Amino acid sequence: MNDKFIFLVRHGEAKEFLNKADDFYRKLNFVGKKRICVLYEHLLHLNIIPEQIFSSCATRAVETMELLAGNFTIDSSQLKYIEDLYQGHLENYSNAVKTTNCSIQKLMIVGHNPAISDFATYLVGKSIEWLHPGGIIGIKLGGLTSWKSLYGIRSLNELLFVKNFLYDKVNE
């Protein structure tokens, strides 16, 4: 049986916004773009290359996904924009994952707090650190043969890492 892995990424740091209506359209700022490049290098170092990436439709999440996908040279057919991941809940992330083809072993989701961190906490069955912008959580989904049975055997799931890239990492 091949193991399945899920990598949960919080979008990169975004520009400030003037009012709540502008939140959806915020773009990555300089630090946000740099953190995503550091994240990419970290994943390469660990030999982690996602086969498919899902993203919220918010501008900052889309930019994060496209930066990662472009560096990994992931085919555009493997990029999926999911409206429900913006201001979504744990169930929205779960429902998105369940649409994944069984042949995919490494799935990445780019989303937002609190839902993305809550989803990770649920998958590993214990409280974990919230993701900072540009941070990532890696989880090995034990005993999973189909993404549709995501909640099958949670006790076999293994938290591989939580990595938050802080400002000092992007100013080197």
| pLDDT for residue 164 | 80
Number of independent structural domains in the chain: 1
| Pairing relationship of beta strands 136-141 and 4-10 according to DSSP bridges | antiparallel
Full-model pTM: 0.91
Report whether 107 contacts 6 (CB < 8 A). Answer: yes
Instruction: Tell me which residue range forms the domain holding 144.
Output: 4-170
| pLDDT for residue 154 | 63
| pLDDT for residue 28 | 96
Q: Where are the alpha helices (DSSP H) in 107-166?
A: 115-124
Dihedral-angle region of residue 131 (phi above 0 means left; psi in -120 to 50 means alpha; beta otherwise) = beta
Query: Residue 95 sits in a domain of what CATH number?
Result: 3.40.50.1240
| pLDDT for residue 151 | 66
| pLDDT for residue 22 | 84
Q: For each of the chain's 172 residues, which pLDDT tens digit applies? A: 578 999 999 999 999 877 766 889 999 999 999 999 999 999 999 999 999 999 999 999 999 999 999 888 898 999 999 999 999 998 999 999 999 999 999 999 999 999 999 999 988 888 888 889 999 999 998 878 889 887 655 667 788 888 886 544 444 3
Contacts of 96 (CB under 8 A, 6+ apart): 54, 80, 82, 84, 85, 109
| pLDDT for residue 136 | 93
